[in-house]
Each structure stands twice: as structure tokens, then as C-alpha cells.
Amino acid sequence: MPELPEVETICKRLAPVLIGKTIQNIEVLREKSLQGLSTSIIGKKIVEVSRKAKLLDIKLSDSSHLLIHLKMTGQLIYQDQLQRLGGGHPTADWVDSLPSKHTRVIFRLSNHSTLFFNDMRVFGWIKHLSEEGASVEFSRYGPDIIDPAVTLEYIFSRFSKTSRPIKVVIMDSSIIAGVGNIYANDALNLAKIHPNKPANSLTQNETKELLDAMIEVINLGIKHGGATIGNFRNIDGFSGNYQTKVLVYQRENLACFNCAGIIKKTKIGGRGTFYCPNCQV
């Protein structure tokens, strides 16, 4: 499901309700979904919840980390007693029937609260890692697109080293992290750049337009609580809203908002790609 805005949306809501709680039990309904649990996490307290790239990072009181990657269809749904008594944040109706057939791991937490990890396609994972193990995992990623470390100089230099299509390069998480298919499509449309253009053919000006556009659409995604195209849900089970703001993603044969050209669909790097042949050159 998620790109950076979707994981950030979950992180912001999860942090305040998880921090300070103790893990009282863990139920693993699908072994593949939970890896590396060599030491017990029962009784450990959650001290920190953050996000890096598309990874959610839950730090425990013994300095170990639970890293969660939702991949295509992962969800984290939180329930507590306050909600069940009707006094908390409202939740979507379907969360009352959890666990569902797609629930893979259940964390039972203190204060009668529960965190469900649902993942239809089972690509996602939770890994229990040491501080060093978590660092290794993070080191696979370049800086987040909204990190000030992503300067024009940095991406222009990285773009200049490859002739792969620009869309493939901005989705390469070892170069910049957090730009997935929805936002890559939209950023290229906003910057009026053809997704197939070789990365090393972009001028410095075009690169700046693209950088600004990526930051803009990612921030817009965060502002609207992520995009629910398929499985993405916030921790209360409700959808995001960015899908109503998309520029080109899944808008084949509709009019481009820049120029009223007709949006076409093609495939680049094996991924569905939407662009306006009129203004994206």
C-alpha cells in the first residue's frame, strides 16, 4: 500500500497511542510476517515510534527495534478500551470484526489495547532487530525526499550518472526514499517531465522543477492523510483522501490538469505509468 505519506500518516497517529505501552503478548498467525524474534519482547515497553523511508520503527525499552514494512497491502489497526467504550476516536465499522482472514500478527498491549497487522498479499513484514540490525536495514535507503539532505546538487549529481528512465530513478529508494508509484507519476506531471526521459538528460532547471514537484506532492499526500487506492487505511480503519487529489495516477483517458491533454497509460520499469503526452516532454 504505502508510500512515504501513507506511512507518515500511520506513524503520526500511532506514536501517541503506543508510546509508554507494554507488549503483553504477541500472536503470530502467519510465520512469514514476523522475522527475527530471537529474544522475547513480552514485557518490553514501547519508547519511540518513528518513520524512515517507508519503514515504521518501533523502539522498545531494551533498545531493540520492531521494523515494519507494509509493502503493497499492509495495514496497522489499533484498538483500545477507550474506543470500545465509545469515548475515543471513532473507528471504521469493519475493524470490530478483527482479526480478519488477512490478520497476520496481533500485539496485545497494556491498558487493554491491541495492534493488528493485516496484510492480504503477505509481502509486508515485521522484523525484530538490535540497534545495529536496524541501522543496517536503514542503510539500504537514501535520504527521504522531504529530508533537507536531498538538495538539488545531490539529485542532479545522482541523475547525471544514469540513463535509466527518470521515473525509475526517482522510485529507486537507494537514491531517494519515499517516492512510490502514485507520487512519482504525479510529480512528473506537475514538473511537466516525460517519465521515460533518461535521467542524465534532465537539465538543472528541470531537475529543480522535479525536486520541487516531488516535495509538493508528497507533502500534499501527508496533508490529506495518504492515498487509499486499494488497501491503505489509517490506524482507525478509515481511508485517506489524496486519491481525490491525484493529478494523473489512474486517470487514463481523462484530461490533464496542466493543459487539458488526454492522459495516457504505459508501462515503465514494469510499473503502470500515467502521463500527459501533450505537456510532459
Residues that bind DNA (CB under 7 A): 1-3, 6, 32, 53-54, 69, 71-72, 101-102, 120-123, 140, 162-164, 168, 171, 173, 180-182, 227-232, 267, 269-272
Query: At its nearest, how many Å lie between DNA and the CB of residue 195?
Result: 13
CB-based contacts of 76, cutoff 8 Å, min separation 6: 10, 14, 56, 68, 70, 115, 116, 117, 118, 235
Q: Which is nearer to DNA, 78 or 249 (CB)?
A: 249
Q: Which is nearer to DNA, 98 or 229 (CB)?
A: 229
Query: At its nearest, how many Å lie between DNA and the CB of residue 274?
Result: 8
Q: Which is nearer to DNA, 21 or 271 (CB)?
A: 271
CB-based contacts of 45, cutoff 8 Å, min separation 6: 20, 21, 22, 23, 60, 61
Query: At its nearest, how many Å lie between DNA and the CB of residue 49?
Result: 18
Query: At its nearest, how many Å lie between DNA and the CB of residue 44?
Result: 25
Q: Which is nearer to DNA, 71 or 89 (CB)?
A: 71
Q: Which is nearer to DNA, 44 or 165 (CB)?
A: 165
Taking a C-beta distance cutoff of 8 angstroms, is the pair 199, 268 a contact? Answer: no
Query: At its nearest, how many Å lie between DNA and the CB of residue 110?
Result: 30
Active site residues: 2-3, 54, 271
Taking a C-beta distance cutoff of 8 angstroms, is the pair 3, 178 a contact? Answer: yes
Measured distance CA(7)–CA(165) in Å, rounded: 26
Q: Which is nearer to DNA, 60 or 74 (CB)?
A: 74
Query: At its nearest, how many Å lie between DNA and the CB of residue 248?
Result: 12
